[in-house]
Structures are given as C-alpha cells and as structure tokens.
Amino acid sequence: MAIEELLAVLAREAEAEASGLLAAAEAEATTIEREAAARADRERSAASDRLADAEARAIRRALASAERSQRERTLNARARAVDRIFAAAEARLEQLALERWRHRAADLAADTVRFLEGRPARLECPPEAVALVEPMLAGQSSVSVRSASTAAPGILGRTEDGAVTVDNTLPERLRRQRADLAIALVARMGEISDAMG
C-alpha cells in the first residue's frame, strides 16, 4: 500500500472514530440534557409543592384567625345582649306590681325566715305585701314585718343585731341566678343563630 492509500485509510478510520466519538458525545449530551431537564422539573415541582403547602398553611392560619375574631365578636355581642337583657329584667323587677308576684310572697318570706335561723329579725317588704307576709309569721314571735315604701318587690330580712341580711327581693334573686340564666340564654342565642343559618 502506498502511503497515500494508508493515509486515506487512516483518514477514514479517524473520520469514523471521530464520527463515533461525536455520536457518543451527542448521545451523552442528550442524556445529560434529559437528566438535567428531569431534575429541573422535579425541583420546580418540589418548589411548587412547598409553595403550595406554604400558601395552604398561610390560608389555614388566616382562616383560623378570622374564625377566632368572628367568635370573639359574636361572644362580645352576646355578652352585651345578655347585659342589656338582665338590666331590663332587673329594672322591670324593681317596678313589678304585687299582682305579678303575689303567689310567691309567702314562699319568699318563708325562705327568708329560714335563712335567718331563728334569730330575732325584721322583714321588710313593699306596703302592699305586708298583709300577705304577716299570716306566714304567725307563731314566730322573734320575727316582725315592716312596710318599706322603698323596698323592691320581694322580701328583705335582717337580724336585729345586723349580723345577717337575707336579700330575697326579686331583683337580688335575679342577680344570684344570673350566671346560670346567662348560660342558658347564651345557649338559646346560639340555637337561634344556628337556625338562622
């Protein structure tokens, strides 16, 4: 073989090897590009998921905060309503006519006397209620009844020595029962609110 032929063979072989190396390099570059694109997609997806999770947490926190604020406003509004209701009820009880509580006068007097524990005492009640209370005191020489024009409806009892006072007036009984009544009232407000949607 002549040198020219040998050079031509070597050139073809070099060209073939170069083509093979070029094809292998292109294949490797394509694989690297695909892997890089896949990795970038995974990282984008993970970043997107993290962002979505962070946004979801932020939304949940904002909703929880809004719900707490709404509950607080609702509870405050209910508390103000309860205060107004009790103030109105107390004002009405202060002025309640005897006809409306006549049936309770003897029981109120008996309860008052019982809590005075047999000590010498005086009961005070509105003038129109004295006639209802006096018969209940028959046989109770240590307890007297006195008309008090400023007395609230109901009975107020005091021992003669001032050591014990039993306030069984209707406004005071309402004040003593306020906590239990307020709970029931707020529960009823909730039921009404729920029913209204």
What pLDDT, on a 0 to 100 scale, did the predictor assign at position 172? Answer: 93
pLDDT the model gives residue 14: 66
Q: pLDDT 10s per residue in the chain (197 long)?
A: 577 776 667 667 767 776 777 777 788 878 888 887 888 888 888 888 888 888 889 899 988 999 999 989 988 888 898 899 989 999 998 888 888 888 989 899 999 999 998 899 999 999 999 999 999 888 888 999 999 888 899 999 999 999 999 999 999 999 999 999 889 888 888 888 777 76
Which residues are registered as beta bridge partners of 122?
144, 158
* Strand, coil or helix: 197: coil
pLDDT of residue 161: 93
pTM of whole model > 0.75?
no
- In 133-154, which positions are buried (b, 16+ CB within 10 angstroms) versus exposed (e)? beebbeeeeebebeebeebbbb
Length of the chain: 197
Give the separation between CA 9 and CA 153, rounded to whole angstroms: 129
**90 and 2, same domain (yes or no):** yes
CA distance 120 to 109: 15
How deeply is 26 buried, as exposed, middle or buried, from its count of CB atoms within 10 A (0-12, 13-18, 19+)? exposed
| 10 lies in the same domain as 85 | yes
**What pLDDT shows up at residue 162?**
92
Q: How far apart (Å, rounded) are the C-alpha atoms in residues 115 and 158? A: 10
Helix, strand, coil: what percent of the chain each, to 5? 75, 10, 15
The two structure tokens encoding residue 174: 């309402």
Do 89 and 134 have their domain in common? no
Q: Identity (one letter) of the amino acid at 57?
A: R
Residue with tokens 């904002």: 62
The CATH number covering residue 158 comes to 3.30.2320.30
Look up the domain containing 157 and give its range.
100-177
Residue 126 within a domain = yes
CA distances from 3 to 8, 10, 11, 13 (A): 8, 10, 12, 15
Tell me how many domains the chain contains. Answer: 2
Compute CA distances 184 → 11, 190, 191, whole Å: 103, 10, 11
Give pLDDT, residue 23.
79
The token duo for 105 is 């006068």
123 strand-pairing partners:
145, 157
- 89 and 1 in one domain? yes
The pLDDT value recorded for residue 154 is 93
Residue 152 lies in a domain: yes
Assess if residue 36 is contained within a domain: yes
Shared-domain flag, residues 85 and 108: no
